[in-house]
Amino acid sequence: MGRQPCCDKVGLKKGPWTAEEDKKLINFILTNGQCCWRAVPKLAGLLRCGKSCRLRWTNYLRPDLKRGLLSEFEEKMVIDLHAQLGNRWSKIASHLPGRTDNEIKNHWNTHIKKKLRKTGIDPLTHKPLSPAEEHHRPQQQEQKKQDDKTKEPETSSSLKSTITKPKEEEENHPMVKDVEINGFCTDEVPLMEPHEILVPNCPPSTSSSSPSSSSCHSSMFLEELQHFPGFDWPSDDYNASNGLSLWNDDFNIWDLLINEESDKRLPLDHSLSSPQMGFDQDSRQHELF
């Protein structure tokens, strides 16, 4: 059929996003809303493909994202939902406000899988591992990988079937059904429930050295952002809350925006240090914990 590539790859930038690019993307979406991702890079003046822009926005820049490690409760939910839905990360993510499919997928692969194996549970089937399996875990894993690639393993075929037959499967799972009946079918729900929204406490002036102090500025700024035409806030509650979880743990690109867009009315005490991202991503992610 001669499918068109998602974008003209010639001359397009790949790899990590810079602060400058983030800024451009955010600025664009704030003024124009989310529309036609293919056109976004051109209009926003980015040398990226639309797909890359969408991914960056949904996985990283979106204001309603929670950052940081998944809580115990979230982890448990992921496990439960994975047992029900299989590797349908977007579905799983939609039950966890503020979390992205990518984040959950990564967390699953790096943390939860291991945890489950440690406790003797097969992360694929959610059934107890046989002693023999446990004994040969590493080899087993490798074997499984190979198996997955070459044939349909017995264990995963059931999950596979959940992927190819989502409707049937979901109808057979009371929990999922329930969840959807309760209006939690996620493609339509705001990603964050009002009660889930973390209200960043403006730290006292003494903590001004902490980079997290900037989150207050973010929420002030975002309050004003509500008036941006076309900016698609998830819900009224969300707007009204003023308690956006928006990277409330540390500095983020929104601060950069605030700094620029608000005519530098708010002194920011952090510096942009990372050569790659324009800010210190790791300190942002890890300082909290």
Partner DNA sequence: AACCCGAACAACCGCAGCCGG
Partner DNA sequence: TCCGGCTGCGGTTGTTCGGGT
Closer residue to DNA, CB minimum distance, 155 or 242: 155
Closer residue to DNA, CB minimum distance, 179 or 277: 277
Q: Closest separation between CB of residue 220 and DNA, Å?
A: 25
Residue ranges binding DNA (CB under 7 A): 1-4, 6, 9, 13-17, 35-38, 48, 50-52, 54-56, 59-60, 69, 87-91, 101-103, 105-107, 109-111, 114, 148-149, 163, 187, 274, 276-277, 281-282, 285
Closer residue to DNA, CB minimum distance, 14 or 195: 14
Closer residue to DNA, CB minimum distance, 104 or 225: 104
Q: Closest separation between CB of residue 232 and DNA, Å?
A: 11
Three-state SS across the chain?
A: CCCCCCCCCCCCCCCCCCHHHHHHHHHHHHHHCCCCCCCHHHHHCCCCCHHHHHHHHHHHHCCCCCCCCCCHHHHHHHHHHHHHHCCCHHHHHHCCCCCCHHHHHHHHHHHHHHHHHHCCECCCCCCECCHHHHHCHHHHHHHHHHHHHHCCCHHHHHHHHHHHCHHHHHHHCHHHHHHHHHHHCCCCCCCCCHHHCCCCCCCCHHHHHCHHHHHHHHHHHHHHHCCCCCCCCCCHHHHHHCCCCCCCCCCCHHHHHHHHHCCCCCCCCCCCCCCCCCCCHHHHHHCCC
Closer residue to DNA, CB minimum distance, 149 or 227: 149
Q: Closest separation between CB of residue 258 and DNA, Å?
A: 20
Closer residue to DNA, CB minimum distance, 151 or 265: 151
